[in-house]
Amino acid sequence: MENTSETSAAFVSSISKEHDILMGAVYSVFCVLSLTGNGILLLVAYHKRSTLKPAEYFIINLSISDLGMTLSLFPLAIPSSFSHRWLFGEVVCQLYAACGVLFGLCSLTNLTALSSVCCIKVCFPNYGNKFSSSHACLLVAAVWCYAFVFAAGPLAQWGHYSPEPYGTACCIDWHAPNHELSALSYILCLFIFCYALPCAVIFLSYTFILLTVRGSRQAVQQHVSPQSKTINAHALIIKLSVAVCFGFLGAWTPYAVVAMWAAFADALLVPPTAFALAALFAKSSTIYNPMVYLLFKPNFRQCLCRDASTIRHRISGGVHLGRMSVVHMQTTAF
């Protein structure tokens, strides 16, 4: 009974009801934007699937993981925020936390793979030109396996999942390292291999790309080669990838800082509001990818406009046929 009452108390919100309602409202906006943006991006990618470049497979995979996070987290977090407590019990709490870790790590690992591929294509073109769609698919599968190992760890008693300190969501138990060695080892591995190392790879990859592009700019300006269009296409993908990567890292870094503060310092000193705000920023990561690619990538934008025009013509054609049939019925009746 004591454990049940402690668990029940952990599921009660520790921030004000007004803040919970505000979080629920913001989560609702994020949910709609993520479903709309990622859904449209996947639809556009499906329509142009025959012309997709290998690097764009990672953009599609990022949208899939963002949709997974949106569909598994927001429908539970939104009503819990409005109700001022977690509504779905211990078992669902564990699954919620596992999904959050799985899709979050998949997105970060996916962006790490994307930055590495872009670096190889630009800095080592002899190898990069051999990178094919089948290689991209294998790397995407490896990304999911890598994320799954760390997401399954707490379910196998390597680390723990528990209610968030603010009470209306669940994630990794950041307090456990203060009193349990296995939890400490899990969080150390998580920090090194799922945050510090990916961030280092991303920063180094784009630094090498910047240095390579600067070094070859004069040569490109003096000699316009037949491959200039391909180079420009790669340059655009790299610019957009940088925007998505840094948007994602900007969203998740506050949560990483607060989590490490709780794990390696006195967890009681971390205010629940800090966790709540950090979680809010982290969940905003689901909307950056479609915004960047649908707004700034010309062929995605053109495909979207073409699809919208087709749908509009079909709707207007359907309305026109409907009117004609009504007129025909009225004429026949008379």
Q: What are 187-195's contacts with CB under 8 Å, separation 24+?
A: 187/159, 187/263, 189/150, 190/150, 190/159, 191/256, 191/260, 193/150, 194/105, 194/108, 194/109, 194/150, 195/108, 195/252, 195/256
Instruction: Report the DSSP beta bridge partners of residue 33.
Output: none
Q: What is the pLDDT of residue 230?
A: 53
Q: For residues 93 and 115, what is the distance between their CA atoms, to the nearest angstrom?
A: 33
CA-CA distance, 275 to 254, in Å (whole number)? 9
Backbone angles phi, psi at 71, to 5 degrees: -75, -25
Second CATH level (architecture) for the domain 2-296: Up-down Bundle (1.20)
pLDDT, residue 1, reads 40
pTM: 0.85
- Cα–Cα distance list, 125 to 74, 133, 173, 237, 242 (Å): 42, 16, 44, 15, 19
Give the count of beta carbons closer than 10 Å to the beta carbon of residue 9: 11
- Per-residue model confidence (pLDDT) at position 4: 54
Determine the pLDDT at residue 299: 64
Residues of the chain with pLDDT under 70: 1-7, 216-234, 297-334
Q: Which residues contact 14 (CB under 8 A, 6 or more apart)?
A: 165, 166, 167, 272
> Given this model, what pLDDT does residue 310 score?
61
| Cα 168 from Cα 86, distance rounded (Å) | 4
Q: Cα(222)–Cα(61) distance, rounded to whole angstroms?
A: 38
Residue closest to 58 by CA, chosen among 245, 305, 298 = 245
For the chain, the residue count is 334
Do residues 234 and 122 make contact, with C-beta atoms less than 8 angstroms apart? yes
